[in-house]
Amino acid sequence: MTEPHWIIIPAAGVGQRMKAGFPKQYLPLAGQSILDRTISIFVNHPMVAGILVGLGLNDAYWQESKWINHPQVSTYIGGETRSETVQLGLAFLNECHGIDQQSVLVHDAARPLLTQDALDRIIANVSKHGAILAIPARDTIKRQSPSGNVQNTLDRKDIWLAQTPQKFPAHDLLEALKKAHLHGVEITDECSAMEFIGWHPDLVVGESSNIKVTLPEDLLIAEALFSQLN
């Protein structure tokens, strides 16, 4: 039987592309912060053991969170990059909760529209190489040349757009992130670190509504989607 999973939410970033003047995860979405909306996806889920939120060193906004005193939610101080924040979270889980070979799920703080169905699908996946939520590319994909124009068109049938959560055994993910950092490999998500050490995670079909709020227009889209999904 699948064990309940810990969720790591790296929320130490500032979201510079949002140009909001404060971290984007604290922007309002339907009356709550984006981060609070994201945490609410996992609270009380029967297969979630706990939620660990990685905060910035000088975070002045978490104290206003509705989850600040919830017994299922813990926090820790993250690092300067997403990878560092996830590494620190994995170390915290090992030291404080003995989480080592168990799988953990890492989810973007700014993906507040993950559905319970999609969450259930990735939790149910039992691949030894882990799994990520992703959706097949629908648009035509172009590769840019060094000069900045179109070089060629990629075959989109082999292209998937990665989402979160991404699910991996805690120890293996920590070691992969450390090795990638040691070799100067750019890590854009947890899966890229696992790929670096030769893993081939499963692709679990996600949902197009599971958007990441990155740019100002994404918040408008998230508001519209939230009203439809709730």
Q: What is the pLDDT of residues 100-137, one digit of tens each?
A: 999 999 999 999 999 999 999 999 999 999 999 999 99
End-to-end CA gap in the chain = 31
pLDDT over 60 (residue 96): yes
Percent of the chain at pLDDT above 70? 96
Mean pLDDT, residues 134-154 taken together: 94
28-29 and 32-33 strand pairing: antiparallel
Domain ranges, ordered by start, for the chain: 5-229
Main-chain dihedrals φ then ψ at residue 35, nearest 5 degrees: -60, -45
Dump pLDDT digits (tens) for 13-24: 875 555 557 789
Query: What is the predicted pLDDT for the residue at 15?
Result: 58
Mean pLDDT, residues 142-151 taken together: 94
The model's confidence at residue 147, banded by pLDDT at 50, 70 and 90, is: very high
Tokens describing residue 100: 């080592």
5-11 and 48-55 strand pairing: parallel
Query: What is the predicted pLDDT for the residue at 2?
Result: 73
Strand (E) positions, 48-115? 48-55, 73-77, 103-106
Domain 5-229 -> CATH class: alpha beta
Dump pLDDT digits (tens) for 49-77: 999 999 999 999 999 999 999 999 999 99
d(CA 62, CA 60): 6
131-136 and 160-169 strand pairing: antiparallel
